Amino acid sequence: MGFYEYRATRIDGADQRMDAYAGQVVVVVNTASKCGFTPQFGELEALYKRYQAEGLMIIGFPCNQFSNQEPGTNEDIASFCDLTYGVTFPMFAKIEVNGPNTHPLYRFLKKEAKGTLGNTIKWNFTKFLIGRDGKVLKRFAPNVRPMEMEAAIVEALKAPYEQ
């Protein structure tokens, strides 16, 4: 299965198919609102606003598997993202990214782009860059700030989309 064959529940409870993002460059990131990396929301939103018209999509997946840094409800998370960082990119319902209850999309992402810990997500704000064709281009560690990904995003946006 490729990226476009997956689906997930948005933070408002709606079902979302990833093929809705076909032809776009997508950054998939697991998030948390009480993490040292939480300010990355601001840079993610800035990149989204800067490149959305060129085909960039950022999608966030809250996760509470790392030191209980995302304890709130989906409603709490949505409110926090909006009020604190003005997040306008799609946020999804809280998921697990490691272990037996790993969301199927994250099983796929981890298999396609292994990290320093192999087939495991190290921490909140691990980021995956997906090309217009749905292939995983690169994985970025949590300590890589979103603006440090800008060159890779711009390069991916230059790629033509062929259906």
So which residues are the catalytic ones?
A: 35
Structure-block tokens of residue 38: 């939480």
Number of helices (H), then strands (E), belonging to the chain: the values are 4, 6
CA distance 19 to 62: 21
Distances 34 to 56, 71, 112, 133, 143 between C-alpha atoms, Å: 26, 9, 28, 34, 15
Structure-block tokens of residue 117: 């810990």
Using alpha carbons, select from 113, 134, 145 the residue that is nearest to residue 44.
145
Using alpha carbons, select from 131, 128, 125, 115 the residue that is nearest to residue 145.
125
